[in-house]
Structure 1
């Protein structure tokens, strides 16, 4: 059974990793870079502050940062050294079948994906706190996109992503439970009059973030042809 699952994992990786072309190579490489999302993080923090105020918002932002930090440590500090599973790009018996982008291979071990753990941890906790469908849908889409980019680049198996997502989601729900239990539900209660304007502001900001990604990709493409 385990061998069947491992073979299925490799087959799915080759299927998703094999659909490559010049345009998607650069775009997925950019999406995978954490620095590309700094504006996105700033927008999200601004949304939290505007919605909950500085005192409550600051505590919520601290919770989001802790979820990312803890998820990252569990993925990179516990799971990877414990399982020591080679990334597909690093596996001496498999890497020759993987399409790599400009020789990017990532670290030695890949189970579980810290990118998936971090992005799903942030996305789920922020969605639970903000309680806005549009925002929540975008955050989950963002987490899926970042995670898929790791498979596309050949540095993670699908099971690495699933494992990382489970870690991140678990930490998000644990953090949300602790916030509600120890700081009372009033901490997470949004002022009604701010809900609609902030939702609109966030949607506009998301569009701006996407424009920045497109512009960054264009610049990267021009200088690396």
Structure 2
């Protein structure tokens, strides 16, 4: 059963990856680069400070920095434990993919999908009562995660599990934040 799921995962990646073309390659290379999302992060920080003030907002931003560090380390722990080859290194399918970058680390689970989802869902939960269109932020992890399929460096299961774990962690982290916030800023 697991073998058939992994086989379907590979087939789906080959299909999705081969939808790409050279015209779109620069766009997806830019999307996958975290630095290019800096204006979004600055906007989020601005909205948090505007909504909650410097003291409380600063605490929230500090909690986001901890969130990103935790997510990154958790993802690396999973990758090093599972040790699934990235698609661009998988001898079974690497010649069937359009790969534009060639990372050598392990694939499962996607750090891009996990951390971007964790961050964005957490921010959305923090700001949902303050801004009507805050849910539009959720396009960020979806686009960011898809870039990893387009580039041939993650399998769909890596992305799906990353988004799922990121969503679960964001909700748990938000629940913890609310408990700490009640005590600290009451």
TM score, norm. by length of structure 2: 0.93
Which portions of structure 1, spanning 4 or more consecutive aligned residues, are displaced by more than 4 angstroms? 185-188
TM-score, normalised relative to structure 1: 0.78
Is this contact kept in 2: 1:67–1:171, CA < 8 A?
Answer: no
* Counterpart for residue 39 of structure 1: 39
Establish whether residue 145 from structure 1 lines up as the match of residue 170 from structure 2: no
Label 1:130 to 1:185 Cα distance change in 2 as closer, same or farther (>3 A): farther
- Could you say which residue in structure 1 is the equivalent of 2:22? 22
SS of 2:139's equivalent in the other structure is helix
Q: What is the CA deviation profile of residues 88-145 of structure 1, one whole-angstrom value per residue up to 9, with x for unaligned ones?
A: 00112221111112xx122331100000011001110000000144112x21111100
Q: How much does 1:24 deviate?
A: 1.3
Distance 2:165 2:71 in 1: 6
Residue 94, structure 1, aligned to residue 93, structure 2? yes
User: In 2, Cα distance between the equivalents of 1:65 and 1:142?
Assistant: 18
Residues 50 and 162 of structure 1, relative CA distance in 2, 3 Å threshold? same
Q: Distance in 2 between matches of 1:176 and 1:185?
A: 14
Q: Provide the aligned C-alpha RMSD in A.
A: 1.7
Contact kept in structure 2, 1:10 and 1:157, CA below 8 Å:
yes
Select the structure of larger CA radius of gyration: 1
Structure 2: runs of 5 or more not aligned: none
**Structure 1: unaligned runs, 5 residues or longer:** 189-225
Aligned residues: 184
Instruction: State which of 149, 156, 159 in structure 2 corresponds to 1:158.
Output: 156
- Shifted more, 149-158 versus 66-75: the winner is 66-75
Q: Secondary structure at the match of 1:183?
A: helix
In structure 1, how many angstroms separate the alpha carbons of the residues matched to 2:112 and 2:104?
Answer: 12
Q: Structure 1 residues 26, 185: CA separation in 2 closer, same or farther (over 3 Å shift)?
A: farther
Q: What residue number does 2:110 align with? A: 113
SS in 2 for 1:23: coil
